[in-house]
Chain A
């Protein structure tokens, strides 16, 4: 089985936010929740870079470790998913997550954050693949249809790569060699405890 990862080539990201829009539309994500977002660092200054970030589907995921009700599970493709039926909305995953991925529909309303929502790597949840129940809670399940996450698939500059970790790392390495520079795979050290030499 593949070990699915995301890789953002910050030297290619043009901050078009198409990944953000694609994600929201594909999964009909509720207003106020962004499973993916683009952040520009040193905006307007020399050397500014934009990075798109969502759940990185960490190795030994902190969210899964701290969840008091154990609602997270890791699929055979190493995608970190959770069950909204088991989630109690306590907020612990959101304290532990290094990437700010977990979000709640009712943040700020004490006692009832609602069920946590995050990027599913376009692979739904514990319900049967492609079922209405799955779509309503988690969005579409593209992985079950043999497709990769939509955010990466429609990235116009192919800055955002999704797929097996070794393959996308290889693509990135080849780019770095060819063009002669690369600012590294953002978040990989934190999420996967590895870096891609650049």
Chain B
């Protein structure tokens, strides 16, 4: 009790101080708007002196947001002129990137084919084959490839369909086709992503750059002329394709899923960026894949069968993947040469 009474004056002093401070704060708070109000020349109050201004808000933030009372809180952003910039990207920039990269690549490939022609098997076929890709590897490759082609066509339709295809088939047919193309684009993204991820795991062991690649690059891969620089299972060019598929595939998958799930961690500005990344990465990806398709089919004799039948001719392996062939022979994966003058089917 004694202790308590001794503290009483202290407490009341503290209370008085708090009440006094609050009263002062109240006076200041009430007075503040009065001083903030500016007056017109005729001394009438100007109620807009401190009002928010559109120009200033847009300069500060590039968008205007506030509070709204409807459940959809995304609607609280009323103005974001950045859509105009995104429109220009979609209408002009992206179409130029696409036209230059894809038509440019096609032109390069046509010129290259006319000048160089098919890369022939210079030593002819040996008649002996060895396994290049397992059933599983081929399955993953073709699943990813089939998805990629359908995704590329349905994606190109979104950017180039309106100027190129719509005038030919009319609005109703074009909408019907585009609706299905959009569904295909969204759903095929799942097996495509799975394919890219499996490719990443399945072939990474053979796609780490090393000294053999430096030599291969220095000699231009033997693409021009008749040089055959040594290469392991994948040469430097194929390693580049591998990393483009892995990194480009990741970029289009991530940006694509952002677009497929609007407002999950993004806003309109974020989705505009995702669309820019998706569009540019996808168009460059298509251009690179055209070169991959070329060299895997009409560009090189004996290459397509490796991915289709799973086996390649020993002479093909000798010319294009010498290091790999030597390892396969050591590991006993290649049958011994047949006796002279007698052809034998390969194992």
Contact = CB atoms under 8 A, between A and B. Distances in A.
Interface of A: 10-11, 17, 20, 32, 34, 37-43, 46-51, 53, 62, 65-71, 85-92, 94-100, 103, 107-108, 110-113, 180-184, 186-187, 189-190
Contacts of A10: 51
Contact of A41 (B36, B64, B162, B187): B64
A124 B199 CA distance: 51
B46 A180 contact: yes
Contacts of B93: none
B171 interface: yes
Given A40-B68, A41-B66, A107-B263, A65 B174 contact: no
A68 B94 CA distance: 13
A46 B49 CA distance: 10
Contacts of A69: 161-162, 166, 171, 174-175, 178
Contacts of B48: 11, 47, 181-183
B46 A96 contact: no
Contacts of B57: 41
B210 interface: no
A87 B179 CA distance: 8
Contact of A108 (B40, B86, B162, B262): B262
Nearest to B182: A88
Contacts of B187: 111
Interface residues of B, number: 65
B170 to A, nearest CB: 11
Given A68-B162, A69-B178, A187 B261 contact: no
Contact of B65 (A39, A65, A68): A39
Given A38-B68, A70-B166, A180-B40, 17 more contacts: A11-B47, A38-B69, A39-B78, A47-B51, A62-B84, A66-B87, A68-B178, A85-B172, A88-B178, A88-B179, A88-B182, A95-B271, A98-B79, A108-B262, A108-B263, A111-B187, A182-B48
Interface in B92-119: none
B66 A98 contact: no
